[in-house]
Structure 1
Amino acid sequence: MGLRILAVDDSRTIRDLLAATLSAAGMDVTLAEDGVEGLEMLRRMGRPDAILSDINMPRLDGFGFIHAVREIDPMRAVPILVLTTESAPELKTRAREAGATGWIVKPFDPERLVHSIRKVTG
């Protein structure tokens, strides 16, 4: 079985692209449409190998989601890559302070995304 990835994004198109890209790379992908559902999925699936999260989402945004994940003991060391259209340095800093591992700007290059996930999961 490949790497277990949780991908959280409110865009169905992005979730579909992530599922196709990561599945094709042999990864097992679980999808959620916002931070609230992302936390619910984490409770169900247990510790993933990595998490991808958008920033701008309803109910619980990416910053709140990342912070909440880092509060869960077994999830403290799980790599979290932010996948967003945002590129402002202050948002990157805020994400890093919340506990994000890295930052990828949409639209993403499928090969670079897979490479980034493999890099952070070592």
Structure 2
Amino acid sequence: MTRPRELCKSILVADDNDDIRDAIVEALESEGYTVASARDGKEALEILKRLPVPTLILLDLMMPVMSGWEFLDAQKADARFAAHQVVTISAVNPHQSVEDPTPLETAGSIQKPFSLGKLWEKVAEFCGPPPSGSTDLTA
């Protein structure tokens, strides 16, 4: 389901890898998205509690302190955040986890490593075209 661009107010990126997180944030911000970032699931939950809830959450699964799986459990347990769209970004298959064999109920997934084109494709699925109006996001 694609959401109209005006509804895509912000995106939360949660990834413990500084380089990956920073690259995703920089790419999204360069296209006009408002982006918040977190180093782990606990920090992502803290951001959800104090900032307007984002339209889309891009979530790594393998993180210290609180994993992506633990974040999803906490998110779904809190009615304020339960309905928000989460796309996993991980090198592990989200449906074949050793940590948690329960199938994930997420809006989608992006397998690492991934291209910017794949990121744009998935973001556009939930947010529509970028606020910048750019149409060439295939890099």
2:51 to 24, 45, 55: 45
Cα distance between partner residues in 2 of 1:22 and 1:89: 27
Q: Which has the higher contact order (CA 8 A, sep 6+)?
A: 2
Identity %: 29
Report SS of the residue matched to 2:12.
strand
The aligned runs of 1:1-122 (5 Å cut-off) are 3-87=9-93, 89-91=95-97, 97-121=103-127
Which segments of 5 or more consecutive residues in structure 2 lack a partner in the other structure?
1-5, 129-139
Cα distance between partner residues in 2 of 1:69 and 1:88: 17
Report SS of the residue matched to 2:84.
coil
Cα distance between partner residues in 1 of 2:49 and 2:94: 31
Q: Which has the higher helix share?
A: 1
Farther off after superposition, 58-67 or 98-107: 98-107
Farther off after superposition, 98-107 or 56-65: 98-107
Q: Cα RMSD (Å) of the superposition?
A: 2.1
Cα distance between partner residues in 2 of 1:24 and 1:96: 36
Letter of the 2:70 counterpart: G
CA drift at 1:57: 0.6
Letter of the 1:37 counterpart: E
Farther off after superposition, 23-32 or 67-76: 67-76
- After the TM superposition, which parts of structure 1 deviate over 6 Å for at least 4 consecutive aligned residues? none
Report SS of the residue matched to 2:110.
strand
* TM-score (ref. length: structure 1): 0.86
Instruction: Give yes or no for contact 1:82–1:100 (8 Å, CA) kept in 2.
Output: yes
Look at both structures and tell me which one has the larger radius of gyration over its CA atoms: 2
Farther off after superposition, 36-45 or 98-107: 98-107
Cα distance between partner residues in 1 of 2:101 and 2:127: 19
